[in-house]
Amino acid sequence: MSELNQLRWIFDGKKVSSLEKKAFVEELLKRQDFLENKKIQGLFKNYYDLEEITPSKLKKLLENNDNWFNEIFKIN
């Protein structure tokens, strides 16, 4: 994965037509395997232009900023 919008394909490989943002993010935050995934970390590291990202830093970014969500899941 090289682009943040590819994240949606990790979950079910289908296009998203509706998604409850809060519930989705809460589920992601429960999944330690997601937070520790090096590809996921790399995507967010590049998106936020960070030198380093840890699972705890990723969790805080996901909790406190939803720009990434809005960019990935543009509902038409």
Which one has a higher pLDDT value, 35 or 69?
A: 35
**Residue 1 banded pLDDT, cuts 50, 70, 90:** very low
Residue 8: pLDDT over 50? yes
| pTM score | 0.67
CA angle (73, 6, 19) in 5-degree steps: 25
What's the whole-number average pLDDT of the chain?
78
Residue 19 has a pLDDT of: 65
Over residues 26-34, the mean pLDDT reads: 87
What gap in Å lies between CA 70 and CA 56, rounded to an integer?
21
